[in-house]
Amino acid sequence: MLERFYPVEDRESAYKIDFEEMYNQGYRGIIFDIDNTLVPHGADADERAKALFARLGRLGFACCLLSNNQEERVKRFHDGVHVPYIFDAHKPSVQGYQRAMERMGTCRENTFFVGDQIFTDIYGANRAGIHTVLVHPIHPKEEIQIVLKRYLEKIVLFFYHRQKPRAVIEGEER
């Protein structure tokens, strides 16, 4: 039952994903959450985020931002990275993920999603049939509704880590 919330992969940070390896595996599109995935909650794109999106473009990835936030907040981040975005996405609804793939010209088989929340980001991408990468939140400061969900996420992650081999969790060899 909890498996529907499990990510395919678990990484420390969006900035520590081996994007070259993902490209070699055939992935061509990346859908990103913003807050606490790429920058602290509410922050604009910083130099690290700008450099990441420039690098992804050079590698040949299409990218799209997918956020439940309102357009003003998502556009502020977008203005630093210049990739398509979808705001007010109603994650975990699958429609936002589908629209993101349409905008990037990709499909479920060659797209992956990167986010920090299990019950919105990962669950929605799983429902859409997309490869999922869960990353640790960048900053501990979060809105109260997210703080409460983090307690439930700890239960899901406990069972996820018990079931998944270490090779999948951190890219290590067994």
The whole-number pLDDT of residue 131 equals: 98
Average pLDDT over residues 116-139: 94
- The helix/strand count (H/E) of the chain reads as 7, 6
Q: Work out the burial of residue 149: count CB atoms within 10 Å of its CB; fewer than 13 is exposed, 13-18 middle, 19 or more buried.
A: middle
Let me know how long the chain is.
174
C-alpha span between 109 and 129 (Å, rounded): 8
DSSP-assigned states of every residue in 98-120: HHHHHHHT--GGGEEEEES-III
**Is pLDDT above 80 for 1?**
no
- Residue keyed to tokens 């990468």: 133
pLDDT band at 166 (very low <50, low <70, confident <90, very high): low
Task: Identify the three-state secondary structure at position 35.
Answer: strand
Domain ranges of the chain: 2-169
Pick left, alpha or beta for residue 11 (phi over 0 → left; psi -120 to 50 → alpha; otherwise beta): beta
166 against 27, higher pLDDT: 27
CATH topology of domain 2-169: Rossmann fold (3.40.50)
What are the tens digits of pLDDT across the range 44-69? Answer: 999 999 999 999 999 999 999 999 99
Q: What angle do CA 131, 53, 51 make, to 5 degrees?
A: 135
Of 32, 47, 169, 158, nearest to 100 by C-alpha is: 32
**Is pLDDT above 80 for 128?**
yes
Task: List, in sequence order, every beta strand (DSSP E) within the chain.
Answer: 9-11, 29-32, 62-66, 85-86, 111-115, 131-135
Q: Positive or negative CA dihedral for 91, 93, 95, 97?
A: positive
CA distances from 119 to 1, 9, 32, 75, 150 (A): 13, 15, 15, 24, 9
What are the tens digits of pLDDT across the range 57-107? Answer: 999 999 999 999 999 999 999 999 999 999 999 999 999 999 999 999 999
